[in-house]
């Protein structure tokens, strides 16, 4: 179990409501970044906040006295997903609470717990050895959950300070309790807003119903057209650039102890669903998707209000696989909706953010080293997986720093990363510290 | 123009936020009813509040000293539609404001302005004559906007007090400024909530997207299935009981100076739309509809939140024509959605409220008398129309009191009755008083 002061600091970190999607949280974002900077400065890092038009990036470096020591960059993010709806949280999202060995808080797993385990690992190493065996860089983003819109510019501006030999990103998942994993692939993403406008104001549905187009009904028609009956995305050209899943990789996935019943239990879904012809893992790891993340239209209060709403809108996200690109897919989405718009409404598709899909060779020297450290920490060989989620910064790191990140994770599949009641096992804080020490030991080696 | 004290009283009436759909407005509903009761008591009526499980019904009677005087019942309602979204109101919805001769307030037209014009008319008659030429009953409902769920029981409980020779309902519309109308028909209504449930909580759309059914997408699919490509409602059996529009009545409608351009201007819609094979007036007055009044699902805040929402729901209303019935249509709607539900979600349809469609002979003696009073007041013959909206109480009045109401209205088509910035022309308060006096004069004669 983590020590009392470690836990106290972790909880302080979790209490910052660092929701990057919410413009009202600017001050809390800045306070969270300042706290992180101070923590790393106290560990002897040259730590600074790099300003952006959004929240700052925390950049902290500590050189090793060893001549010719390699440089390791650890990426994490201090921003978190929105915590709504607050009513579904059993305890307040920004008041961490431990129940049955799990810390409940927004950001507990994604990504504060994982980031902080590494920082505590550095602290433990320094306590034991006084100095670091590698030049260590912490690069902590404040906009990961909104697609890191300013991160590329920071990488370019600080390229000289960020030159490194290896990159570790701890923002993915284990495949099961006790079973570590290295993720070789991530899905990309593109998020758009779709807005359908009709009458100038809400209309009385008795006085005008049947004679003017209803934007809510038209929005539903557009969203229903996104998929065909086989669960495929029906946007023309959507699959044009999709790389087929490599049969050898798919064979590896089939050896994993993957239990569809566990997915049903973890999600509470009545049944699995998806694109015909693919397994659940293939659907999540190797196939692109179109998802409706939210819809808002007209009256949503108690009882009824008999109106034709003036407009209706939806938030959509598309998960991409190699070699799809966010810009190309966004254009196809825009063209698809524009082509389907009925005469009585105006349809507008707005690009929110996007990130490239990622795939990297797991057998680089640093990749092998991390897998050895994982085996030492967990007593089991790490499995090679992909993740269905998107970490656009991983592609930016490749592009700007010329290194492929190695992706490990301390989260569990049922941690509710973007939902209510997000959790992180307290034990994994210790495991993360041990993993960090094992990596430094090997790099020192 | 109305006198200063008349306006002051009208504005006091408009300031009550008497939103029957909002359970938080119980006290304001009661205060509004008490104010109306006091106003009618001050005019010498035997005025009382009849309690219901919801807001009370205001029932006020004043007998005529004339032996054998007929009894006229005037129906109105003091509840109003919700005023959201408040941001779209140019002035606060419950702070009446006069701009360019129009009173802006929620309920200005529907129905406080129309009701209050009659009460002021009674006041004016009494001031001139001391006594009424008819036994007059005011029956003022507090739940019209939510389908008058308790009104039938009140009618049954007070049947003896409500026995009458004629019923006047002033809750419909003129067809244009200066052109009065008598409405022979109203559409019925049935309102339902549709709820689609999937996973137990919102899920990370990267971790699970593509592998479980998305309730927001499934809701869109269900709503998109409501209409076929010709704009017809696609629910099996929906049109089974629909009476075709009588060719003679349709011919009368074609003589009206009805301008489709005016509908576009009044609504701000880019184009008209609707069921193929019918004119705009036929679509609104003579054909049933399915409308989406609101949709809510998942994340609706700033930026994006990449989730699969746990559930999604929509508010639907169906406008009915003779001889459809709300119960029959609700059952067909429920069966339609149940049959379309995908395996990965649960679909629930909840009945909110309903009201029968209405059609009545415009040539009864009282019907003719009202049309003469309208001609005297406006200097033009009233046209015979229908209304697309629903006033379920009109059917209840027929059923419980055995009389067909005569439906007149002082509202204008572009009064934004259920939308933001609802208006009522101040001049129509005077016209309403004059109409009331003309009706009493004829009944006295």
Chain A to chain B, count of Cβ pairs less than 8 Å apart? 379
SS3 B396: helix
Residues of B in contact with A319 (CB under 8 A): 205-206, 209-210
At residue A38, what are phi and psi to the nearest 5 degrees? -65, -40
Please tell me the distance from the alpha carbon of residue A145 to that of residue A314, in angstroms, as a whole number: 19
| pLDDT the model gives residue A266 | 83
User: Where in the sequence of chain A do the CATH 3.30.70.360 domains occur?
Assistant: 188-251+283-355
- B284 CB neighbours in chain A (<8 A) are 207-211
The pLDDT mean for chain B works out to 94
Chain B: residue whose CA lies nearest to A20: B303
**Could you tell me which residues are beta bridge partners of residue B294?**
A298, B315
On chain A, the residues whose CB falls within 8 A of the CB of B208 are: 263, 267, 284, 388
pLDDT in tens, chain A (445 residues): 788 999 999 999 999 999 999 999 999 999 999 999 999 999 999 999 999 999 999 999 999 999 999 999 999 999 999 998 889 999 999 999 999 999 999 999 999 999 999 999 999 999 999 999 999 999 999 999 998 999 999 999 999 999 999 999 999 889 888 999 999 999 999 999 999 999 999 999 998 999 999 999 999 999 999 999 999 999 999 999 999 998 888 988 988 877 888 889 888 998 999 999 999 999 999 999 999 999 999 999 998 899 999 999 999 999 999 999 999 999 999 999 999 999 999 999 999 999 899 998 888 999 999 999 999 999 999 999 999 988 889 989 999 999 999 999 899 978 888 889 999 999 999 999 999 999 999 999 8
* Alpha carbon distance A333, A316 (integer Å): 10
Q: Does A427 touch chain B (CB under 8 A)?
A: no
Structure tokens at B31: 């205060």
- What is the rounded distance in angstroms from the CA atom of residue B425 to the CA atom of residue B117? 12
User: What's the confidence (pLDDT) of residue A194?
Assistant: 98
A236 to chain B, closest Cα gap in Å: 18
Choose the mutation target among B84, B279, B305 for the interface with A, i.e. most A CBs under 10 Å: B305
Question: What is the nearest CA distance from B186 to chain A, expressed in angstroms?
Answer: 9
Using only the alpha carbons of chain B, give its radius of gyration. Answer: 23
- Count of residues making up chain B: 445
Chain A residues within 8 A of B307 when measuring between CB atoms: 293-294, 418-419
Number of H helices, E strands in chain B: 14, 18
Number of other CB atoms surrounding residue B228 within 10 Å: 11
Instruction: Summarize pLDDT for B3-15 with one digit per residue, the tens.
Output: 899 999 999 999 9
Tokens of A128: 């034991």
Cβ-based contacts of B269 with chain A (< 8 Å): 198-200, 212-213, 344
All CATH 3.30.70.360 domain ranges of chain B, comma separated, are: 188-242+288-355
DSSP, collapsed to helix, strand or coil, labels residue B80 as strand
- Tell me whether A258 touches chain B (CB under 8 Å): no
Q: Are residues A210 and B275, on separate chains, in Cβ contact within 8 Å?
A: yes
Q: Do B58 and B36 touch, CB atoms closer than 8 A?
A: yes
Residue identified by tokens 């108690």 is A302
CB-based burial, B355-393: b 16+ in 10 Å, e otherwise: bbbbbbebeeebbebbbebbeebbeeebbbbbbbbbbbb
Gap from A198 CA to chain B (nearest CA, Å): 5
Rounded to whole angstroms, the Cα distance separating A304 from B294 reads 9
* Residues in CB range of B158: below 8 A, 6 or more apart: B50, B59
* C-beta atoms of B389 and A204 within 8 A: yes
Q: Which of B224, B304, B419 minimises the CB distance to A317? A: B304
Under 8 Å between Cβ of B343 and B380: no
**B281 to chain A: closest CA residue:** A211
Residue A297: per-residue pLDDT: 98
**Pairwise CA distance, residues B357 & B415, whole Å:** 23
Q: Does B187 touch chain A (CB under 8 A)?
A: yes
Token pair recorded at residue B320: 């009915």
For residue A391, the model assigns a pLDDT of: 83
Residues β-bridged to residue A219 = none
Taking contacts as CB-CB distances below 8 angstroms, the residues of chain A near B346 are 270
- Cβ-defined contact of A305 to B315 (cutoff 8 Å): yes
Q: Which of A23, A213, A421 shows the shortest C-beta gap to B302?
A: A23
Rounded CA-CA distance B125/B436 in Å is: 9
Task: Please state, as a whole number, how many other Cβ atoms lie within 10 Å of the Cβ of residue A429.
Answer: 24
SS3 (DSSP) at A144: helix
Cβ within 8 Å of B, A 100-129? none
Residues linked to residue B313 through DSSP beta bridges, in sequence order: B195, B296
A52 touches chain B (CB under 8 A): no
A365-378 helix and A426-444 helix, angle to the nearest 10 degrees:
130
3-state secondary structure of B212: strand
- Name the residue among A206, A263, A275 with its Cβ closest to that of B390: A206
Question: In B, which residues are within 8 Å of A207 by CB distance?
Answer: 173, 284, 387-389, 413, 417-418
Phi first, then psi, for residue A299 (nearest 5°) are -85, 130
Measured between beta carbons, the chain B residues lying within 8 angstroms of A81 are 305
C-alpha to C-alpha distance for A227 and A273, rounded to whole angstroms = 12
Return residue ranges of chain B for CATH 3.40.630.10: 4-186+357-444
Beta bridge partners of B173: B411
Query: CB A308 to CB B293 under 8 A?
Result: yes
Question: Hey, CA dihedral for A40, A42, A46, A50, is it positive or negative?
Answer: positive
CATH fold group of domain A4-186+357-444 = Aminopeptidase (3.40.630)
Identify the residue whose tokens are 């994770």. A409
Residue B255 has pLDDT above 90, yes or no: no
A407 contacts in chain B (CB < 8 Å): none
pLDDT of residue A386: 94
Rounded to whole angstroms, what are the CA distances from B156 to A321, B71, B161, B164, B402? 67, 18, 10, 14, 12
- CATH code at A188-251+283-355: 3.30.70.360
CB-CB under 8 Å, A344 with B270: yes
- Reported as a pLDDT band with limits 50, 70 and 90, residue B175 is confident
Burial of B7 (0-12, 13-18, 19+ CB in 10 A): middle
The reported pLDDT for the residue numbered A90 is 95
Give the closest-approach CA distance of A430 to chain B in angstroms.
25
* B153 burial via Cβ count (<10 Å: 0-12, 13-18, 19+): middle
CA atoms lying within 13 Å on the CB side of residue B148: 26
From chain A, the residues in CB contact with B420 under 8 A are 201-202
Tell me which residue in A267, A293, A390 faces B200 most closely, judged by beta carbons. A267
Among B201, B280, B352, the residue with its CB nearest the CB of A419 is B201
Distances in Å between the Cα of B352 and the Cα atoms of A9, A219, B29, B236, B343 are 51, 23, 20, 21, 26
Query: CA nearest B209: which of B302, B298, B303, B294?
Result: B298
Q: Do B207 and A173 touch (CB under 8 A)?
A: yes
Per residue in A333-364, pLDDT (tens digit) is 999 999 999 999 999 999 999 989 999 888 89
Q: Identify the CA nearest to A173 among candidates A111, A215, A127.
A: A111
Contacts with A280 from chain B: Cβ below 8 Å: 211
DSSP states of A257-309: ---HHHHHHHH--SSB--STTS-HHHHHHTS-EEEEEEEEEE--SSS---EE-
Residues 395-424 of A with CB under 8 A from B: 413, 416-421
- How far apart (Å, rounded) are the C-alpha atoms in residues B320 and B309? 33
Question: Which residues 6+ apart lie within 8 Å of A346 measured at CB?
Answer: A196, A197, A198, B270
User: What is the value of pTM for the model shown?
Assistant: 0.78
CB of A118 closer than 8 Å to CB of A129: no
| pLDDT band of B400, cuts 50, 70, 90 | very high
Q: Residue A165: what pLDDT?
A: 96
Window from A140-144, B127-131, B287-291, B354-358 with minimum mean pLDDT: B354-358
Work out the widest C-alpha separation in chain A, in whole angstroms. 81
CA distance A67 to A285: 42
Name every chain A residue with its beta carbon within 8 A of the beta carbon of B319. 205-206, 209-210
Q: B206 and chain A: CB distance < 8 Å anywhere?
A: yes
Counted residue by residue, chain A has a size of 445
Structure tokens at A200: 């100038």
Quote the CA–CA distance of B362 and A196 in Å, as a whole number: 41
Compare all CA atoms of chain B with the CA of A313 and give the residue at the minimum distance. B300
Pick the CATH number of B188-242+288-355 from 3.50.50.60, 3.30.70.360, 2.60.40.10, 3.40.50.980: 3.30.70.360
**Phi, psi dihedral angles at A233 (to 5 degrees):** -70, 130
Rounded (10°) angle between helices B426-444 and B4-15: 110
Facing B269 at nearest CB: one of A198, A288, A298: A198
User: Which among A21, A298, A309 is the nearest to B304, CB-wise?
Assistant: A21
Antiparallel, parallel or unpaired: β B181-186 and B102-104: unpaired
């Amino acid at each position: 179990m983590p020590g009392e002061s470690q836990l106290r600091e972790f909880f302080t970190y979790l209490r910052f409501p660092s929701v990057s999607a919410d413009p009202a949280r600017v001050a809390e974002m800045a306070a969270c970044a300042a706290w992180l900077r101070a923590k790393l400065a106290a560990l002897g890092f040259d730590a600074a906040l790099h300003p952006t038009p959004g929240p700052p990036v925390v950049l902290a470096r500590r050189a090793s006295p060893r001549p010719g020591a390699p440089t390791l960059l650890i990426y994490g993010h201090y921003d978190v997903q929105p915590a709504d709806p607050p009513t579904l949280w059993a305890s307040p999202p920004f008041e961490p609470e431990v129940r049955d060995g799990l810390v409940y808080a927004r950001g507990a797993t994604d990504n504060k717990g994982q980031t902080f385990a590494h920082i505590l690992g550095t602290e433990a190493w320094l306590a034991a050895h006084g100095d670091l065996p590698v030049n260590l860089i912490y690069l902590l983003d404040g906009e990961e959950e909104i697609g890191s819109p300013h991160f590329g510019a920071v990488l370019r501006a600080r390229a000289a300070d960020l030159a490194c030999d290896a990159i570790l990103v701890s923002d993915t998942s284990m495949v099961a309790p006790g079973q570590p994993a290295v993720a070789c692939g991530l899905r990309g993403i593109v998020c758009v807003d779709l807005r359908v406008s009709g009458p100038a104001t809400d209309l009385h549905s008795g006085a005008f119903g049947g004679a003017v187009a209803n934007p809510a009904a038209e929005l539903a028609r557009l969203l229903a057209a996104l998929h065909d009956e086989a669960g495929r995305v029906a946007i023309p050209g959507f699959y044009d650039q999709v790389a087929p899943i490599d049969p050898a990789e798919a064979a590896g996935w089939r050896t994993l102890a993957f239990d569809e019943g566990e997915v049903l239990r973890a999600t509470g879904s009545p049944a699995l669903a998806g694109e015909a012809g693919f397994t659940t893992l293939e659907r999540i790891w190797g196939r692109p998707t179109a998802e409706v993340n939210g819809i808002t239209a007209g009256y949503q209060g108690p009882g009824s209000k008999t109106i034709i709403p003036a407009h209706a809108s939806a938030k959509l996200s598309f998960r991409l696989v190699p070699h799809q690109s966010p810009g190309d897919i966004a254009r196809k989405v825009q063209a698809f909706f524009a082509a389907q718009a009925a005469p009585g409404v105006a349809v507008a598709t707005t690009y929110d953010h996007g990130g490239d899909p990622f795939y990297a060779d797991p057998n680089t020297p640093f990749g092998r080293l991390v897998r050895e450290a994982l085996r030492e920490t967990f007593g089991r060989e790490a499995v090679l997986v992909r993740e269905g989620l998107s970490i656009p910064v991983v592609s930016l790191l490749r592009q700007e720093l010329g290194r492929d990140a190695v992706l490990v994770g301390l989260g569990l599949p049922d941690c509710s990363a973007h939902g209510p009641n997000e959790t992180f096992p307290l034990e994994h804080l210790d495991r993360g510290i041990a993993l960090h020490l094992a990596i430094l030991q090997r790099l020192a080696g």
